[in-house]
Amino acid sequence: MIELESGALRARVLPYGAVLQSLEVGGVNVVLGLDDPADYLTRSRYFGAVVGRYANRIAGGRFVLDGVEHTLPVNNGANSLHGGVKGFDKHDWTVARSSPKSVTLSLTSPDGDQGYPGELTATITYTLDGDALRLDYTAVADAPTVVNLTNHTYFNLAGGGDVRGHVLRMDAGRYLPVDDGKIPTGELASVRDTPFDFTTPTAIGQRYGAAYDHCFVLDGGIRVTEPVSGLAMEVATTEPGVQFYAGGMLDPTATPYGPFSGFCLETQHFPDSPNQPHFPSTVLRPGERLKSSTTYRFTA
């Protein structure tokens, strides 16, 4: 376990899954985590983990790259989710370097790992800086591959209870409609006059039964406010999208948490991009370096 501290923020990071186990803001833990690290082997719904090699879903567990079809294990109905049966969240990462405010972890995924081509080396750096937590990702590969990295932290700015009263404002004028398997239809649809319009502050539970598990096309930042305490979290990212999941499928029989105990804002490229060429590309080629950054800033 690695402990970080800066100002009012304190964090704990685990090498297993590069998990953000806890994040305290003014003494209140605002993320869902498991007290016993061993529980991440059996009781985690990706709590705080870095997911990859490809975050989110790939339709049918297959994609074609440079004319070659690659087959992935399916672990979400007919689709591959979060890198497959043993994604990056189920590996021990190596601590490359650390300081009181920052830690960098690395993972090398061999050629053919979960069906993905090329050896890929990924890093994640967690940095506390005053009132902000910054996540910096890198990746390089020795052969053409696809990669989409994100962090799957569940937030609850009240430190407990139901998050449907949290107020969300998201600068996103479009979202990705999905089919029954949660695979994007390919449309980038306007949020106007739909339950997906968070361009003005809206309680998470106000519409749609809070059944959100959708990718939004970002035009700017995100702000979430917990109305009782007044604690707010602002999210800025270099990624083109964010998967907003309201936590409605959390199962108290399998984890310590019930539905709507936390929400996720997984900054990332779009789901199923390898099969949808009009989406921003997730192809990484030798000699290129993936670089991505997301900052979560907390204010009272």
Q: Binding site: residue ranges?
A: 56-57, 152-154, 213
Quick check: 201 and 251 in contact, CB under 8 A? no
Residue 31: partners with Cβ closer than 8 Å, 6 or more residues away: 20, 22, 23, 47, 48, 153, 154, 155, 156, 262
Residues within the annotated binding site for beta-D-galactose? 56-57, 152-154, 213
Residue 183 DSSP class:
-
CA atoms of 128 and 263, how far apart (whole Å): 21
CA atoms of 220 and 213, how far apart (whole Å): 20
CB atoms near residue 92 (< 10 Å) = 11
3-state secondary structure 140-188: EECCCEECECEECCEECCCCCCCHHHCEEEECCCEECCECCCCCECCCC
**Separation in Å, CA 299 to CA 132, 158, 235:** 9, 13, 12
Strand, helix or coil for residue 39: helix
Strand, helix or coil for residue 104: strand
Please provide the distance, in angstroms rounded to a whole number, between the alpha carbons at the two ends of the chain: 28
Active site residues: 152, 266
41: left (phi over 0), alpha (psi -120 to 50) or beta: alpha
Element (H, E) at 225: strand 222-225
What is the widest separation between alpha-carbon atoms in the chain? 54
